[in-house]
Each structure stands twice: as structure tokens, then as C-alpha cells.
């Protein structure tokens, strides 16, 4: 097993030095789901606060751009693309974010931040109807580029 890169030889937290890494195209996709009851699902199109799903899409994109402000050891990245895909199911919504950059480090955290904040936004805009809404299944789906190569989550 390799060592954790965010700690130096003395066990102190550090930001990884990526100045020697080549700028390459890097992508990441992440997933989150928001489980809610049928009454909340039926009310989604009629939310007096506005469309929760479109607001979540915007919030996710904004969050990806702010990842380095939220996660202490993340590098600020020039994102070239962020998209949020939201699918409605009978028991909730599924959110997939994709982030892209050409940089010396990857965009996994940006994709994960995007889906998490999008899911939190759905909760925020619907919590008046039901406080038991659940945010679940936040995980990385894929990543490409960089020294560690490509990653594809195994499906079960």
C-alpha cells in the first residue's frame, strides 16, 4: 500500500507539491442520490422556492468551482467543464457530476463536491415537506488522466 500523500515524513499535514507534474487532461465523474417519499417527489415541480433540481444543478457547478476553498489540501484548478446530470426516479433523484481540467492534478474532489452540494441543495429546497430525506451513495464513478491512470468503479 502506498503512503498517504497529504502528510510529510513527520506526519504533518501538507499540500502536495504538483509543480513538477505535467498538465494533462483530467476528468472525473461522481454520483450521489437523494431518497425521498412519494409526496415530496410529487411536489418537486410545484416547489414555491423554485425548481429544486435546476437550483441543485447550479449549486453543484458553483461548488465544483469552490472546492479548493472548502477542502484544505485541494489545489485551485482551472476547470474547463462541469456538468450536473439529474435523473428523477420513483424514490428520489440520482445526481452525476462530471468535471474536467487540463492541469497537474486531478478533479475527483471537484466532482465529489459538486454532487454533494447538489444533493444538499435538493434537501434544502424540500426539507419543509419532510425532514427524513436521505442523501446516499456519494462515490467516485470514474477518473481519467494523471500518474495513477484511469479508474472505473466496479459495479456490483
Q: How many CA atoms lie within 13 A of 150 on its CB side?
A: 4
**CA-to-CA distance for 107 and 75, rounded, in angstroms?**
9
Q: How many CB atoms lie within 10 A of CB 156?
A: 3
Whether 17 is catalytic: no
Which pTM was predicted? 0.91
Which one of 8, 20, 51, 124 is the catalytic residue? Answer: 124
Length of the chain: 156
Q: Which pLDDT tens digits describe the chain residue by residue (156 residues)? A: 466 676 677 777 777 778 888 889 999 999 999 999 999 999 998 888 789 999 999 999 999 999 999 999 999 999 999 999 999 999 999 999 999 999 989 999 999 999 999 999 999 999 999 999 999 999 999 999 988 889 999 986
User: How far is the CA of 86 from the CAs of 34, 74, 91, 134, in angstroms?
Assistant: 10, 26, 13, 16
Q: What angle do CA 86, 91, 96 make, to 5 degrees?
A: 20
Assigned CATH topology for domain 24-143: Alpha-Beta Plaits (3.30.70)
Amino acid at each position: 500500500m502506498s503512503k498517504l500523500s497529504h502528510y510529510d515524513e513527520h506526519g504533518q499535514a501538507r499540500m502536495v507539491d504538483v509543480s513538477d507534474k505535467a498538465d494533462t487532461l483530467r476528468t472525473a465523474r461522481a454520483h450521489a442520490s437523494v431518497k425521498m417519499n412519494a409526496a415530496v417527489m410529487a411536489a418537486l415541480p410545484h416547489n414555491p422556492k423554485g425548481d429544486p433540481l435546476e437550483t441543485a444543478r447550479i449549486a453543484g457547478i458553483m461548488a465544483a468551482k469552490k472546492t479548493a476553498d472548502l477542502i484544505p489540501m485541494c489545489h485551485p484548478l482551472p476547470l474547463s467543464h462541469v456538468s450536473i446530470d439529474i435523473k428523477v426516479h420513483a424514490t428520489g433523484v440520482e445526481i452525476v457530476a462530471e468535471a474536467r481540467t487540463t492541469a497537474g492534478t486531478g478533479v475527483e474532489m471537484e466532482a465529489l463536491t459538486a454532487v454533494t452540494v447538489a444533493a444538499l441543495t435538493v434537501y434544502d429546497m424540500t426539507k419543509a415537506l419532510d425532514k427524513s430525506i436521505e442523501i446516499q451513495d456519494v462515490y467516485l464513478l470514474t477518473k481519467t488522466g494523471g500518474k495513477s491512470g484511469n479508474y472505473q468503479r466496479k459495479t456490483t
